[in-house]
Amino acid sequence: MLRDAAVSAVIAFGLFGAMIGLKTEVGVQTIELTPRPYLVLAAVVLVFFGRLALLAWKKSRPAGTPKRGRITAVANKAGRYLTPVVLVLTITLPFYAERYYVDLGVLVLTYVMLGWGLNIVVGLAGLLDLGYVAFYAVGAYSYALIAQNFGLGFWTCLPLAGILAAFWGVLLGFPVLRLRGDYLAIVTLAFGEIIRVVILNWTSLTGGPNGLSGIPRPTLFGLVFNSSGGEGSFAEFFGIEPNISQRGIFLFYVILGLALLTNWVSLRLRRLPLGRAWEALREDEIACRALGIDVTVTKLTAFAMGACFAGFAGAFFATRQAFISPESFTFIESAIVLAIVVLGGLGSQIGVALAAVVMIGGGELFRDFQEYRMLIFGGALVIMMVVRPRGLVSGRTPSVSLGDKRHISADMMTEGHG
């Protein structure tokens, strides 16, 4: 044990020696290196005792360690009661929370929606998509451009944005869906970048790096939200004080509705032949083909469906910000959404929602820690993968059953080979 801990300490010294031990200070003309031996010592000591504690904890556990299955069963049971609680807390949020938290809620819900959308592609159909943000971008720019050039409102553009994103999903899908696993991931990653680069360079249409501004805000049956009140505004119609936070609350309910729509459609699809075919595709593509299922069409529908919801989310993002630029659609966004899906548990709806709250909400709350934010984020990911490698809520419930539905543990499932 001591030896193991000592080895870890030596490795830590090697790693941290240069990184923490030396600080560069920029002078007027020179760059000076300041050694910081005490910090290195602290890090090494921390690693030494940390490793020691970890080993001691492992040893103290009885030989027959509790099975993963039991933890999963408890988590799933909790999940059943958790869902209504979370839903009620979310719906009533604007009534008890400050404006900051409502805005944060809008942000979190956007990612919940993206997560649920991507869950169709990755969790159900087992197609690893690293360029999901491309469809988010298509949705956002579709809304912005249609609204600015043709003067259509948010509610007219919303379905259009979804359809356009789905169209791009199909367009991308045709050539790449014969690829599997890693290769598919790389091509989708490239597609995400292509969309961003095109947006960045097609200055005449998209404004390039300057982005598009003055995107119209959404209205409630023609009632606008603004801080001055006046003719045709929400405040004037209901005879209340105009307040800018009303728009925030309205946006909150819009995205909540959109997210719940995503959830409803994907839950519903799971119980239908199409959704079952997606799951079968994730389990075994060759068997699907042998059963007469058109693998290409099935994959394309999963891609289009996922893209469609990303398009909705994109249109919402554009109307919320009133300004979009290519910077909002970088690879890191795809990575965050994918991390949410993987952390939450592939195919699990409540898991994805919780993961989005933790990742996005937690990220915002840790903003004070500045550069340590990413460190905490990375650490949390590593701990998650060690403790619950299949995500917060893993396994699946059968889509149909003769008796009572029993949960299927994740060990049975195969995934991500599409």
Enumerate binding residues for other proteins (CB under 8 A): 265, 268-269, 272-274, 276-277, 279-280, 283-284, 286-295, 297, 301, 396, 398-406, 408, 412-414
Closest to other proteins by CB, 68 vs 276, is 276
As measured in angstroms, the least distance from the Cβ of 120 to other proteins is: 12
- Kindly tell me which of 380 and 413 has the beta carbon lying closer to other proteins: 413
* Cβ at position 294, least distance to other proteins in Å: 5
Cα–Cα distance measured from residue 301 to residue 138, given in angstroms and rounded to the nearest whole number: 18
Label the pairing between strands 323-324 and 22-26. unpaired
CB of 395 to other proteins, least distance (A): 8
Residue with tokens 């982005």: 211
Nearer to other proteins, 73 or 413 (CB): 413
Instruction: Tell the smallest beta-carbon distance from residue 166 to other proteins (Å).
Output: 11
Shortest spacing between CB 168 and other proteins, in angstroms: 17
Task: Name 50's Cβ contacts closer than 8 Å, sequence gap at least 6.
Answer: none
CA-to-CA dists, residue 347 to 78, 118, 140, 344, angstroms? 17, 10, 26, 9
Within 10 A of 241 (CB to CB), how many other CB atoms are there? 7
Closer by beta carbon to other proteins, 247 or else 396: 396
**Could you give the CA distance from residue 250 to residue 123 in angstroms, rounded to a whole number?**
31
CB closer to other proteins out of 77 and 268: 268
Residue 28 corresponds to which tokens in the numbers above? 């007027």
- As measured in angstroms, the least distance from the Cβ of 204 to other proteins is 36
User: Cβ 132 to other proteins, closest distance in Å?
Assistant: 21
**Distance of alpha carbon 257 from alpha carbon 319, whole angstroms:** 15
**Beta carbons within 10 angstroms of residue 389's beta carbon:** 11
Nearer to other proteins, 204 or 401 (CB): 401
- The length of the chain in residues reads 418
Nearer to other proteins, 233 or 349 (CB): 349
Q: Which is nearer to other proteins, 179 or 223 (CB)?
A: 179
CB of 102 to other proteins, least distance (A): 31
* Three-state secondary structure readout of 105-162: HHHHHHHHHHHHHHHHHHHHCCCCCCCCHHHHHHHHHHHHHHHHHHCCCHHHHHHHHH
Structural element, H or E, at residue 73: helix 68-91
- The residue among 287 and 385 lying less far from other proteins, judged by its C-beta, is 287
Nearer to other proteins, 151 or 403 (CB): 403
Name which of 85 and 400 has its Cβ closer to other proteins: 400
The helix/strand/coil state of 224 is strand
Q: In 3D, which of 79, 182, 72 has the Cα closest to residue 127? A: 182
Using an 8 Å Cβ cutoff, are 51 and 8 in contact? yes
User: CB of residue 261 vs other proteins: minimum separation in angstroms?
Assistant: 11
Q: Residue 275 CB, nearest distance to other proteins (Å)?
A: 9
Q: What are phi and psi of 220, to 5 degrees?
A: -105, 105
DSSP, collapsed to helix, strand or coil, labels residue 100 as helix
H-run or E-run covering 293: none
**Closest distance of CB 126 from other proteins, Å:** 11
Cα–Cα distances (Å) from 238 to 96, 230, 232, 235, in that order, read 21, 12, 10, 5
H-helix or E-strand containing 68? helix 68-91
